[in-house]
A = this chain, B = another copy of it.
């Protein structure tokens, strides 16, 4: 074993810099440094500044798990993906994660992701994450009408934020895009083109968004002074195949619609297929407006007119809201909604003339 002189610095030089190092460099104690770093009021401004400068200079970064042992918080956001969910969410995943990560890391937080393949597995996953203190709060994508995640976390008194809105708002913070507004605007747009028989193909009815978008569609029909034909309304279409099936049913009615509003882009692509099989040209014989803004829509023939959602921005907002929620901010200030962006492409046109 090598004998070092006075043991001044025999440990390897590149070991991590701790709070003790900062304290020593300033002739303070680590308690003072800790309080200065965390902005406690019983530290003079001068000292606080000195400490923060030195911390910066020495590039001191407290270990979140060392803090967690006392504070119980890891500075980590939890996200549990549900794969049983329809594929329609997958194209958004990368953007969404990018947003969450960006929002989190801008505040020095990280993202802990887990996947579950069944309802029970999902519950277990949440519980394991909580038990191990792996997340200080959760982002819940795709709010459901009856959401077991909300029940679980509310009971456990764990902060969370919804992507989507819920009826039972107690304890819920959220971010959402106003799908109902988009659906209403879609109808108004079609009505302004002369359409009077307008169909509606909704998404998964267990999700909160479906009720909202349906309400928006109905509202739009009323505002436009149009009658709603129940035969022109379909549900639970979240894939292209779903959309094609439902659309075929609607288009083969006695009095088919001249336009269809879809709650989900993928369903609209199914409408394209169904229309083609019925010999209808999209944008001429049949107008379509949808919602989501998937890339495939832009490349479809004709390009799909839709209401686009910025999932990256949503991720950023959600992580920011959750962090504020964890920090104890008031719920009322943690509820945000934005409008979807109308992207007018080629799948709509004036109502076809009878012949």
Which of A's residues lie within 8 Å of B, judged by CB? 16, 61, 63-66, 68-69, 74, 76, 81, 83, 87, 89-91, 93-94, 97-98, 100-102, 105, 110-115, 117, 125, 128-129, 131-134, 240-241, 295, 299
A83–B94 CB distance below 8 A: yes
Contact A102 B74 (CB under 8 A): no
10 A-B pairs (CB sep. < 8 Å)? A63-B69, A65-B133, A90-B91, A90-B94, A97-B115, A98-B117, A105-B114, A105-B125, A110-B132, A111-B113
Chain B neighbourhood of A101, CB < 8 A: 81, 113-115
User: What residues of B have a CB within 8 angstroms of the CB of A128 in the complex?
Assistant: 105
**Interface residue SS majority, chain A:** helix
Q: In the assembled complex, which residues on chain B have CB atoms less than 8 Å from the CB atom of A68?
A: 63, 65-66
Residue of B nearest to A134 (CB): B110
**Docked-complex contact B114 and A114, CB < 8 angstroms:** no
**Contact status B93-A110, CB under 8 Å:** no
Instruction: Specify the chain B residue showing the minimal Cβ separation from A133.
Output: B63
A111 contacts B112, C-beta separation under 8 Å: yes
**Please, which residues of chain B bring their CB within 8 A of the CB of A90?**
90-91, 93-94
Task: Report the separation of the CA atoms of residues A142 and B63 in the bound assembly, to the nearest whole angstrom.
Answer: 30
Residue of B nearest to A67 (CB): B65
Expressed in whole angstroms, the minimum distance between the Cβ of A98 and any Cβ of chain B is 4
Other than the given A101-B114, A105-B125, 11 more pairs (CB < 8 A) read A64-B132, A65-B65, A65-B66, A66-B68, A93-B93, A93-B94, A101-B115, A110-B129, A111-B114, A113-B113, A241-B299
| Chain B residue nearest in CB terms to A131 | B61
Residues from chain B with a CB closer than 8 A to the CB of A64 are: 65, 132-134
Q: Among A69, A81, A100, A115, which residue has the most Cβ atoms of chain B within 10 A?
A: A115
